[in-house]
Amino acid sequence: MDTTAETDLRLVFIRCIDELTDTHVRILRVFADVAGQYIQIESLNTILGGGAEANLYVADLQARGLVEECPIFTRGGGHMTIFSSAAEGGHRISGLGHQFLGFMAGPFGGEMEGRPL
């Protein structure tokens, strides 16, 4: 990636840090912890506890490209059709989502925790 593109991506990530809530990041970390598997939104509601609307958070993360929907394939009329259904297929973290979590961890990857700066 060239310097301009890297700078632009860092600025986008800084904006995301400013705009996303702790719940957004918790959900993104849940996706990262399952190593690329798709997660159904209903299971996220269980993880988040009552009152949290996972649909809202996941849609926001997806709009930013940090998670992606599982494509669902159907066969009909002699051809294969691809469509997405969050209810049936779920979501998973994207490559950009992994980059964002790495950016949030910073250059020290948590090594500075507990140490005075």
Q: Which CATH number covers residue 43?
A: 1.10.10.10
Full domain range(s) for residue 29: 3-105
- Mean pLDDT, rounded, of the chain: 78
Q: Is residue 24 part of a domain?
A: yes
Phi, psi angle pair for 38, to nearest 5°: -80, 140
pLDDT score of 73:
59
The reply to whether 111 falls in a domain is no
- Structural domain contains residue 110: no
Residue 113 in domain: no
Q: What is the pLDDT of residues 61-82, one digit of tens each?
A: 999 999 998 876 555 555 554 4
Tally of structural domains, the chain: 1
Q: Is residue 115 part of a domain?
A: no
Question: What distance in Å separates the CA atoms of residue 46 and residue 86, rounded to the nearest whole number?
Answer: 16
> Is 28 domain-assigned?
yes
Residue 93 maps to a domain = yes
The sign of the CA dihedral 101, 104, 106, 110 is negative
Residue 18, in any domain of the structure: yes
**pLDDT given for residue 112 in this prediction:** 42
Residue stretches of the chain with pLDDT short of 50: 81-87, 110-117
